[in-house]
Each structure stands twice: as C-alpha cells, then as structure tokens.
Amino acid sequence: MKPLDTKTTLHLRCGSDIRETLKTAGFIGEFLEFSDPFCQGPVPDRPRDAFIETRAAFISGSFDLPDQDALARLRGEYDALDRLGSYDHVVLWFEHDSYDQLILAFLMDAIATIQPETEIDIISVNQSPEFEPIDRFIGLGQLSPNGLIWCWENHRTPLNSDMLTFGAKVWKALRQDDPTDLKALAETENAPLPHMPAALKRHLAELPDAKTGLGLTQSLTLQIISDLGPMPLGKVFGHLMRSYDPLPYLGDLMFWSEVQWMMNCKDPLFTLSPPEPDTNWSTRTTTLTDTGQETLTGTRNFLDTFTGTRWVGGVRISPSHMD
C-alpha cells in the first residue's frame, strides 16, 4: 500500500494524542508536538525569550513540573518551528476548540514571520466521520486510523495568505490587556480560519461575568455540583466535557488547575474531601457550599472573595478589592 505522505512530511499537532494513530494509519512522516496551552495562563506581548520564560513559569507552577524541565521543553518546541522549511510538506492537525485554535493563531503569526519555503496544509475539523462511533466529537484523539485518513482526504486545505493574516490578527489581539479587538474578531463572518470565531467566543467566555464574577468554566463547575450533588472531581470533569461545556477544551490536569484557582478565595465555593494515599485529585469528593450557591446565582460576586490571579490571554483577572 502506497503511503499517504512521505518521509519528508512533518505532522504538527498541539499534543501527542494522534502520534501513534498516524503510524497505524500508514503515515510515515515525522511528528512534532507544539503544546503551549495559550487558553490558560498569561499570554503577554513580550519578546520571544521573555515570552517563553513567562509561559514556562506558568506551566511549571500549574502542572507541577520542575522549572528547568518546563523551560527546556518549551524552548525545544519553539525552536523546532524554525526548522519547518527543512521539510517538503508540513501538515497542521487541529480541531475546533480554543486550546487548538489559539495555538493555530500563534502558528499563523509564526509562519508569516519565518516564511518557511515548504508546502503547508491545514486540517481543522469540528466533527467526526459518520462511521466513527462517537457520541460527541471533542477532538482528533478520539478518531481511529481510518478517521484520521478521512480528515486527510476530506479536510486538508492549502495554507494561504488570508489564513496567515487573520491568524496573526488574532494572535496580536489575544496578547492585549483589553479584549475589545479579540471580541471584534470573534464576530468575523466567513473567517479564513472557519473554526476560529467560535473558539474565540468560548475563550472570551472565561472573562468574569459581571454579576457572578465567574468565568464560564468556573460557573459550569459549580452548576454541575449544584445539579448533581457531591461527587468526585473526576466525574465533575467528565460531565463538563460530555454535556455541560458548549465547546470543551480542557485536559484533565488543566481542569484541576482551574479548580485550584477557584480555591484561592476567602470564602470557599466548595469543599474537597481530604486526599487519600495512592490516589490523585480526581477521586476527591467536592461539595458545594452556601457561598458557592450564592455566587452561582449572582447574589455574591466571586471577585469580592477571590485572592489569587488568573489570566484570559493578556487580560489579568485579580481581586476587586486589594488589601
């Protein structure tokens, strides 16, 4: 059987979830992971080295990685982008959520700057083929080898200048400390990157609600506990991904980091059962408090009790009353 690609093809993906499935499907090109999660943490408008250091510090602190390991890994991923021109064909594999699309926006800006002399295609999908037994399509990692071949044959589009320009505009707007420009881009009709506007709207929904002070992930987390009662955090995450989130984008450790940020407050929104030996965060039972219920309904504002700092792109979210 003739391979679909060549050994001088590079498959670039914002994670490792399809690496082995691509091999099983018969693809023989190389694989590059670039997985800086711009949907979380500070995304400042800073020079490259300072930007990478800022991102590495966030990743290290949020995902319990040694500082130098996080920095070395991130530098390696960014440096690898400078070598795209050494391949005859580069294929960008992405789905429709904000985790993927914000990385795609960064790549559009990076490719416009680097201008590698190579053929580049984009695969961006928001659905699975009919033959895949998937209840809700969340990402490419759910697909079988035949599903990835289906993406290759039906959703592979040559990169063009309109995609680069639009993506670069998104990347610039994402790093601003005012979300006005990003909100305008989220309303783009017939966007060159068709899944970007919806992903931007979901990203912007993480900004605090005027009444509750909660971002959408925070609000949905409390809503699940309110609707279904006390349960292990892993099950809360499962409900969030399967049904509550209109456009789910979080991995499990990313969700745990969101939960930890919600715990940075004077009056807890929920309680967690004590950790047990040889278990992880997902088994800990969470129970909504009166403060959590009042915040969810808008009779209290989370920013009045929040003591930490979180980021939505370049927008810093901190307590409304600083001591």
Q: What residue ranges do the domains of the chain occupy? A: 9-174, 216-317
Token pair for residue 204?
A: 């912007």
**In CATH, what number does 216-317 get?**
1.10.10
Q: Give the tens place of pLDDT for each residue, 210-265.
A: 999 999 999 999 999 999 999 999 999 999 999 999 999 999 999 999 999 999 99
φ/ψ of 299, rounded to 5, equals -80, -15
HSE, side-chain direction, 13 A CA sphere, residue 174: 31
How many H helices and E strands in the chain?
Answer: 12, 11
pLDDT of residue 320: 58
Quote the tokens at residue 148.
Answer: 């990835």
251-265 burial: b if 16+ Cβ within 10 Å, else e: beebbbbbbebbeeb
Q: Are 62 and 93 in contact (CB under 8 A)?
A: no
Q: Is the pLDDT of residue 306 over 80?
A: yes
> Is the full-model pTM beyond 0.85?
yes
Q: In the predicted model, what is the mean pLDDT of residues 162-183?
A: 98
